[in-house]
Amino acid sequence: MSISQKIRKNIIFEQQIIVEVNQLTELNHFRLLGRSGLRVSPLCLGTMTFGTDWNFGAEKEECRRIFDLYLERGGNFIDTANNYTNGTSETFLGEFIGSHREELVLATKYTLNCRPGDPNAGGNHRKNMVQSVEASLKRLQTDYIDLYWVHCWEFRTPIEEIMRALDDLVRAGKILYVAISDAPAWKIAQANTIANLRGWTPFIGLQSEYNLIERTPERELIPMAEDFNIGLLPWSPLGGGLLTGKHIDTHKEYLQSPETSTDIARGSLITSRMNEQNLAICEAVQKIAQEIGHSPAQVSLNWLLQKSSVTSIILGAKTVKQLEDNLGCLDFTLTPEQMQYLDEVSQIKLGFPHDFINSEMVKNIVSGGSNIAS
């Protein structure tokens, strides 16, 4: 356990519990986000489904019910982006939040182009950053954003420009903390090193896809985040729906005959993830779910919550029923044996240089045969 994780353990602050990262609790048992004092719920309400502009989200009335349920259960962490449902997500939130603004940790993002044809309406540069934050503030009906995300890395804007511009927004009081999503580990490490050396605001959070069928962040992103004390917020924690268990029969059908399988399988966004290993993972999740009387989605989320690198999981729901089921992941704890079983069935090869430098041969050569504690 790192020093920062030890500090998080069992701290009582104004009658609200801040818990150790891998301790399962309730929505109102908060965790510290990365190298900061910001308290956030272990489950974050993702709002990419707020609005039907993209033909897959929820109507306004259902969005309001989802929002209200999350707050009623004690949640305080809301995630959106300037481009989600063409700005409707932020607009809805601006209406919903009302008197709850001060008690919520409100996060939004910039980078993606919201005005096709305008080359400066997208990217990570200062111009897009400033115009994006101003537009988000108006839609959200607030004068500051708690956590501002670089939505994805685009390899064009100098890293110094990004970090200095973000720091300027912090100093102006328009944003309080900064974070990054969908970026290479080496660029995040470079960004935070520069920020720390120059006294600028560093990233305290990282969004990355991370779930039982997508564990590749364990190669570079997660070790980097742990070393820099950056809080990890997994998105798509259910693997695009594959880990809910509802696609297992379609999964089997697709593997047996991809060319003649159902239209559902061929047209699904998760078809590319239908392979033998992922089927084995989904069946393992379903097996545990049946044994303990919880849904496969709850089992998959519970596995994530027990990972020490994970601070908060981003949940996206199109219905109140979906959110209710997902929140049930806090009601139990997988046993060490169950965690090991899921770890083993979903295990990935770390590849070079990790497998090489962790081999017994290299360890013995480096240590000269001495027994050195890690």
pLDDT at 4: 43
The average confidence (pLDDT) of the chain is 91
- Residue 301's nearest CA partner among 311, 309, 313 is 313
| 203, HSE (Cβ side, Cα atoms, 13 Å) | 32
Cα–Cα dist 353/324, whole Å:
42
pLDDT at 173: 98
Look at residue 262 and tell me whether its pLDDT is greater than 90: no
pLDDT at 266: 44
pLDDT at 358: 87
Helix, strand and coil percent figures for the chain, each rounded to 5: 50, 15, 35
pLDDT at 20: 58
Look at residue 209 and tell me whether its pLDDT is greater than 80: yes
Look at residue 22 and tell me whether its pLDDT is greater than 80: no
**Mean predicted confidence (pLDDT) in 267-286:** 86
pLDDT at 260: 63
**Mean predicted confidence (pLDDT) in 30-35:** 97
| 139, HSE (Cβ side, Cα atoms, 13 Å) | 24
**Mean predicted confidence (pLDDT) in 268-281:** 84
- Tokens representing 149 are 């995300």
Percent of the chain with pLDDT over 70: 90
Cα–Cα dist 319/90, whole Å:
18
Percent of the chain with pLDDT over 90: 80
Look at residue 11 and tell me whether its pLDDT is greater than 80: no
Cα–Cα dist 283/255, whole Å:
14
pLDDT at 27: 95
pLDDT band at residue 1 under the 50/70/90 scheme: very low
**Mean predicted confidence (pLDDT) in 270-277:** 86
Secondary structure element (H or E) that encloses residue 206, with its range: strand 203-209
- Phi first, then psi, for residue 194 (nearest 5°) are -65, -45
**Mean predicted confidence (pLDDT) in 79-94:** 98
- Tokens representing 34 are 């990365």
Look at residue 18 and tell me whether its pLDDT is greater than 60: yes
Cα–Cα dist 266/25, whole Å:
39
pLDDT at 249: 86
Per residue in 288-335, pLDDT (tens digit) is 999 999 999 999 999 999 999 999 999 999 999 999 999 999 999 999
pLDDT band at residue 271 under the 50/70/90 scheme: confident
Tell me the domains of the chain and their CATH numbers: 3-243+296-335 (3.20.20.100)
- Residue 87's nearest CA partner among 56, 64, 113 is 113
Whether the model clears a pTM of 0.85, i.e. scores above it, the answer is yes
Q: Does the active-site annotation cover 341?
A: no
What is the chain's Cα-based Rg? 21
Per residue in 110-147, pLDDT (tens digit) is 999 999 999 999 999 999 999 999 999 999 999 999 99
pLDDT at 23: 59
**Mean predicted confidence (pLDDT) in 50-69:** 96
- Tokens representing 139 are 């839609």
Q: Active site residue: 84, 148, 210, 254, which one?
A: 84
**Mean predicted confidence (pLDDT) in 71-97:** 98
pLDDT at 261: 58
Per residue in 346-368, pLDDT (tens digit) is 999 999 999 999 898 998 888 88
**Mean predicted confidence (pLDDT) in 20-47:** 89
Look at residue 3 and tell me whether its pLDDT is greater than 50: no
More confident residue, 72 or 257: 72
Look at residue 230 and tell me whether its pLDDT is greater than 60: yes
Cα–Cα dist 220/207, whole Å:
14
